[in-house]
């Protein structure tokens, strides 16, 4: 169950990589407005771009007739983002580690690693066609102390 935020937006967009741009810009403006710092905003941006690219390329197999659903909630404490595609899903644990010697020179396969390294929570539904990510705002606690 996702906690309802002070900002809640939900969109269904065409399954092409550039379709995320307007919503991504809105999301980044929203998290900046809630006081997420520059590094956190960079990480959220990267995670959303990578998750959306995975949904389009791997989930929906680059079929532009399919769509991608994006939903996010923001509170002063965290941003909570879900991105779903219409594909058959995948098993995240089966994705090879791109940092190993045999995979280091592969041209792809780094998106999930970057999402996990920049967000506090990255989890998939059982089917594997919806990724749910959370980033907690580092300064949220100090704001509470000031109040």
Partner 1 sequence: MDQLRPKIKVEYVQHAAIATLTDEKILDESDIRGLAGSIMPLVETSPGVNLVLDFSNVKFLSSAVLGLLIRISRKIYESDGQFKLCGINPKIHEIFRITRLDRVFDIHADRYDAVRSLD
Helices 111-118 and 38-54, packing angle to 10 deg: 150
Exposed (0-12), middle (13-18) or buried (19+): which is 16, by Cβ within 10 Å? middle
* 8 Å CB contact between 10 and 70: yes
Contact region with partner 1 (CB under 8 A), list: 29-37, 64-72, 112-120, 137-145: 112-120
Residue 104 as a binder of partner 1 (CB under 8 A): the answer is: yes
Verify binding: residue 23, partner 1, rule CB under 8 A: no
Single out the residue of 113, 125, 118, 16 nearest to residue 68, CA to CA: 16
Instruction: Strand 7-14: give its sheet, edge to edge.
Output: 7-14, 67-74, 78-84, 130-136, 121-124
Stretch that binds partner 1, among 68-76, 77-85, 104-112, 132-140 (CB under 8 A): 104-112
Question: Does 108 participate in binding partner 1 (rule CB under 8 A)?
Answer: yes
87 near partner 1 (CB under 8 A) = no
Q: Nearest Cα to 47, choosing from 104, 132, 137? A: 132
Q: Which of 9, 66, 110, 124 binds partner 1 (CB under 8 A)?
A: 110
Interatomic CA distance for residues 101 and 87, integer angstroms: 30
Among 9, 45, 66, 124, which residue interacts with partner 1 (rule: CB under 8 A)? 45
Does 63 participate in binding partner 1 (rule CB under 8 A)? Answer: no
CB of 8 to partner 1, least distance (A): 26
Which residues of the shown chain bind partner 1 in the complex (CB under 8 A)?
A: 17-18, 39, 42, 45-46, 49-50, 53, 98-99, 104-108, 110-111, 113-114, 117
């Amino acid at each position: 169950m996702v906690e309802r935020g002070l900002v809640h937006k939900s969109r269904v967009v065409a399954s092409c990589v550039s379709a995320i741009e307007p919503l991504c810009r809105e999301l980044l403006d929203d998290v900046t407005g809630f006081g997420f710092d520059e590094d956190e905003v960079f990480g959220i941006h990267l995670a959303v771009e990578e998750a959306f690219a995975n949904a389009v390329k791997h989930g929906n197999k680059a079929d532009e007739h399919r769509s991608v659903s994006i939903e996010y909630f923001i509170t002063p404490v965290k941003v909570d983002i879900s991105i779903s595609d219409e594909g058959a899903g995948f098993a995240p644990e089966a994705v090879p580690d791109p940092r190993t010697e045999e995979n280091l020179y592969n041209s792809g396969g780094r998106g999930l690693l970057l999402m996990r390294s920049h967000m506090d929570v990255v989890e998939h539904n059982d089917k594997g066609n919806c990724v749910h990510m959370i980033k907690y705002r580092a300064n949220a606690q100090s704001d509470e102390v000031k109040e």
